[in-house]
Amino acid sequence: MSSKKPIATGIKKGREYLLCQCGLTDMPPFCNGAHRKTKHLPFRYVAIETGMVNFCCCKRSKTYPLCDGAHKSV
Ligand code: FES
């Protein structure tokens, strides 16, 4: 993931999402398996509600994996 800005994504309650932690995915914010050549593992997130969320891409959010606006000071 090259951008530090959050990525708005529609999610469904109860569904599991694997979020990229290695930066190599070509479908951010989601893992596409590219981490297999690294020591990184994806972050598992289970949605607690259905709707739009902003997934954090700067990794400084105190509410990770959801954005809290921390990217504005990166
Ligand atoms: S592709 Fe980056 S963690 Fe899986």
31-60: average pLDDT: 96
> Which pTM value belongs to this model?
0.88
> What is the distance in A from the centroid of ligand 1 to the CA of 74?
22
* One-character DSSP codes across 26-57: SSTTB--SGGGGSS--PEEEE-SSSEEEEE-S
> What is the distance in A from the centroid of ligand 1 to the CA of 15?
18
| Beta bridge pairs of residue 46 | 16
Tell me the pLDDT tens digit for each residue of 10-29. 999 999 999 999 999 999 99
Ligand 1 pocket test target in 1, 7, 19, 31 with most atoms within 8 Å of CB? 31
Task: Give the closest residue to 12 by CA, choosing from 51, 61, 54, 67.
Answer: 51
pLDDT at 65 over 80: yes
